[in-house]
């Protein structure tokens, strides 16, 4: 579950101190696709002093801070037609294995900020046009004073263990026969642990205990923070809710489903934690 913190190489910031003085990383999005330069199963983010150097005009740009000492910007453009044969748009999900890890994580942050900026041009309270604050990542309404911040939706995801077996489930939204972990969004007024218990009862009808935090992952599809836990089975029989979950069962470490979550996800990392801790020695 451990990975090196992005903050070893990345310094977040709101206000650009070195605009147009050095080459910058440009995280440029059209819809949900990121502009990259791909070559031999590797990809790079456009690296230039300005968008003008790339012959690109943006609807909006946002400063993100510095990566390895270089400024970073996110940008939204209105067309996927680019005057460059070396650059192309790819879905962010597809870039997990070909972008450097820090760059991929920062691309996820950029994607969330671009979408937040796009959808908060007007005040959600009175409808007036907002302005971007210089002191923090926020938009403020000059008329009523309402302030909005980037949207972040916390969700829990849990490895439930019973007699050295793990509970895996097929969600109706999963492709093919893929199985994953019990997960769901935190509701107003509940703790993370309460959410873990509620989701287990709602989705598969069982009670759990001994809930322990395992790790977390930013998940920019579109704006989640996935918070991973482990838990022990307490009581009840599996009963799928029939709405989200249509199949669920206990699986031994040497008999897991053929289709599991993508390596990009914390679900995959948690299942690997289970394999490592419960494999036959």
Is the domain of 33 the same as that of 91? yes
Is the domain of 233 the same as that of 160? yes
Where is 195: in which H helix or E strand? helix 192-204
Mean pLDDT of the chain, nearest integer: 94
Is the domain of 38 the same as that of 72? yes
Count the domains in the chain: 3
Please check whether residue 227 is in contact with residue 211, taking contact to mean a CB–CB distance below 8 angstroms: no
Is the domain of 83 the same as that of 65? yes
Q: What is the 3-state secondary structure (H, E, C) of 208-261?
A: EEEEEEEEEEEECCCCEEEEEEEEEEEECCCCCCCCCEEEEEEECCCCCCCCCC
Is the domain of 167 the same as that of 263? yes
From CA 99, how far away is CA 154, in angstroms rounded? 25
From CA 127, how far away is CA 136, in angstroms rounded? 21
Query: CA quadruple 90, 92, 93, 98: dihedral positive or negative?
Result: positive
- Residue 240 belongs to some domain of the structure: yes
The CA dihedral of 207, 209, 212, 214, to the nearest 10 degrees, is -40
Is the domain of 69 the same as that of 139? no
pLDDT at 85: 84
- Residue 1 belongs to some domain of the structure: no
Please check whether residue 87 is in contact with residue 37, taking contact to mean a CB–CB distance below 8 angstroms: yes
pLDDT at 18: 61
From CA 180, how far away is CA 199, in angstroms rounded? 14
- Residue 131 belongs to some domain of the structure: yes
Is the domain of 168 the same as that of 228? yes
Q: What is the DSSP letter of 128?
A: P
- Residue 245 belongs to some domain of the structure: yes
**pLDDT above 70: residue 19:** no
- Residue 221 belongs to some domain of the structure: yes
pLDDT at 38: 85
Is the domain of 38 the same as that of 115? yes
Burial class (CB in 10 A: 0-12, 13-18, 19+), 175: exposed
Measured in residues, the chain has a length of 281
- Residue 2 belongs to some domain of the structure: no
Of 137, 174, 160, 189, nearest to 249 by C-alpha is: 160
Please check whether residue 276 is in contact with residue 1, taking contact to mean a CB–CB distance below 8 angstroms: no
pLDDT at 82: 86
Domain that holds residue 124: 120-150
- Residue 36 belongs to some domain of the structure: yes
pLDDT at 16: 86
pLDDT (tens digit per residue) in 118-147 = 999 999 999 999 999 999 999 999 999 999
pLDDT at 21: 76
pLDDT (tens digit per residue) in 172-204 = 999 999 999 999 999 999 999 999 999 999 999
Tokens of residue 201, six digits: 């009862």
Is the domain of 14 the same as that of 94? yes
Is the domain of 215 the same as that of 266? yes
pLDDT at 20: 63
* Total-model pTM: 0.91
Of 74, 71, 56, nearest to 117 by C-alpha is: 74
Is the domain of 134 the same as that of 157? no
Is the domain of 129 the same as that of 69? no
Task: Indicate which CATH number applies to the domain containing 205.
Answer: 3.90.79.10
pLDDT (tens digit per residue) in 20-66 = 678 999 999 999 999 999 887 788 999 999 999 999 999 999 999 99
Please check whether residue 36 is in contact with residue 54, taking contact to mean a CB–CB distance below 8 angstroms: no
From CA 41, how far away is CA 36, in angstroms rounded? 12
Q: Given the structure tokens 């996935």, which residue do they identify?
A: 226
pLDDT at 42: 83
Average pLDDT value for residue range 264-277: 96
pLDDT (tens digit per residue) in 4-13 = 899 999 999 9
Task: Indicate which CATH number applies to the domain containing 77.
Answer: 3.90.79.20
- Residue 167 belongs to some domain of the structure: yes
Query: CA quadruple 98, 262, 104, 47: dihedral positive or negative?
Result: positive
């Amino acid at each position: 579950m451990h990975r090196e913190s992005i903050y070893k190489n990345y310094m977040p910031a709101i206000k650009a101190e070195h605009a147009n003085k050095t080459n910058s990383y440009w995280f440029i999005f059209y819809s949900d696709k990121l502009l990259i330069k791909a070559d031999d199963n590797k990809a790079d983010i456009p690296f230039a002093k300005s968008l003008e150097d790339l012959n690109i005009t943006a609807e909006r740009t946002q400063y993100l801070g510095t990566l390895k000492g270089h400024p970073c910007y996110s940008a939204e453009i209105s067309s996927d037609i680019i005057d460059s044969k070396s650059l192309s748009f790819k879905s962010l999900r597809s870039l997990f294995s070909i972008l450097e890890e820090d760059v991929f994580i920062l691309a996820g942050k950029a994607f969330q900020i671009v979408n937040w900026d796009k959808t908060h041009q007007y005040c959600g309270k009175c409808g007036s046009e907002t302005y971007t604050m210089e002191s923090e990542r926020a938009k403020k309404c000059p008329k009523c004073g309402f302030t909005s911040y980037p949207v972040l939706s916390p969700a829990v995801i849990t490895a439930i263990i019973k007699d050295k077996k793990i509970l895996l489930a097929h969600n109706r939204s999963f492709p093919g026969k893929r199985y994953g972990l019990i997960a769901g969004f935190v509701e107003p007024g509940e703790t993370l642990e309460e959410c873990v218990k509620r989701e287990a009862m709602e989705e598969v009808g069982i009670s759990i205990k001994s809930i322990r935090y395992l790790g977390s992952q930013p998940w920019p599809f579109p704006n989640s923070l996935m918070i991973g836990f482990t838990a022990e089975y307490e009581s009840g029989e599996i009963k799928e809710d029939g709405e989200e979950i249509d199949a669920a069962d206990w699986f031994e470490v040497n008999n897991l489903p053929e289709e599991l979550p993508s390596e990009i996800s914390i679900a995959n990392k948690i299942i690997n934690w289970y394999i490592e801790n419960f494999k036959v020695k």
